[in-house]
Amino acid sequence: MHPTVRAFTSLAATLATVGAVTFGGIAAPDTDRSLPLVSPEVRPAAVITGEIPLTVISNQFLYCSIICPYFLQFATTVPIAAVQSPGVFVSAYGTTGSVPTSFGVAAQSVTHPAYAAMTGIIVNDLIKVLPRAQNALAVAVVEAMKTAGGQDLDTGRTRILDALNAPITPNPPSTAITTTDSQVAAVEGINAGSAVVFQAPEWLLLGATETAEAAATELATTGDIDSARAVGEAHASYWVNLSQSVLPGASG
């Protein structure tokens, strides 16, 4: 799944999970006019109906503002480079007289912008967007479990909003406060699912473009097909190992 698709859906589960925390426990309007009404100014901000869903939605636009420019970069630079690559090959051949070297130069003219754009997409997603969204989901799940166990609604809402509004920083720490084994297991399940569905595949996707870039660069530099193949294999092995290292049960 592409990161932008995930950026617009990663917290969809949050809406479902925190529905009870967001709306549950908000009593219907009292028809007995003899009872005093609570003035809006003394109601906790977290009690405002719809605040959590609105924050979730606004976050999707925020996440897109971080990642989408690189998708646009990929969509514009790579096709143009691909169209121009035959001309790059002809020009390089006229200079070097080497078919392998010229092919490497032409390939690199495409792989370089592809890798640059993919780096912006994947790194920003895995280092900034995913950790923040994943933490918000973990907090929402934990607080929903606590509310089901008797915790007051406002505490859960406040903690969820704090997670949803947390600053976007690289690799932020988890803010889920677990107090039971079941809550710990829930957070671990979210982390494991994230690794399988998002982290490992995205590292592989970035690795594919970086491997192509490394092999093309080697071929353009040396004109040696075997050397370029060896470089590509070495880089591919690195990225496969990296993607495997984030999976549940991986050592170190």
The answer to the question of residue 229 being in a domain is yes
Q: What percent of the chain has pLDDT over 70?
A: 80
Q: Which letter, b or e, does each residue of 111-129 get, where b requires 16 or more Cβ atoms within 10 Å of its Cβ?
A: bbbbbbbbebbbebbbebb
Q: How many CB atoms lie within 10 A of CB 251?
A: 4
pLDDT on residue 252: 52
> How distant, in Å, are the alpha carbons of 212, 213, 214 from that of 227?
13, 14, 11
The answer to the question of residue 148 being in a domain is yes
The answer to the question of residue 119 being in a domain is yes
Residue type, 4: T
Higher pLDDT, 218 or 14: 218
- Structural domain count, the chain: 1
Could you tell me the pLDDT band of residue 250, with boundaries at 50, 70 and 90? confident
The answer to the question of residue 252 being in a domain is no
pLDDT on residue 152: 87
| pLDDT tens figures, 117-174 | 999 999 999 999 999 999 999 999 999 999 998 888 999 999 999 999 999 999 999 9
Identify the sign of the CA torsion 68, 74, 76, 77. Answer: positive
The answer to the question of residue 204 being in a domain is yes
Residue from 92, 82, 192 nearest 137 by CA:
192
227 burial level (CB within 10 Å; 0-12, 13-18, 19+): middle
Range of the domain at 68: 3-20+47-245
| Mean pLDDT in residue range 192-211 | 97
The answer to the question of residue 28 being in a domain is no
Could you tell me the pLDDT band of residue 50, with boundaries at 50, 70 and 90? confident
Query: Model-level pTM?
Result: 0.78
pLDDT on residue 151: 87
pLDDT on residue 49: 53
The answer to the question of residue 38 being in a domain is no
The answer to the question of residue 165 being in a domain is yes
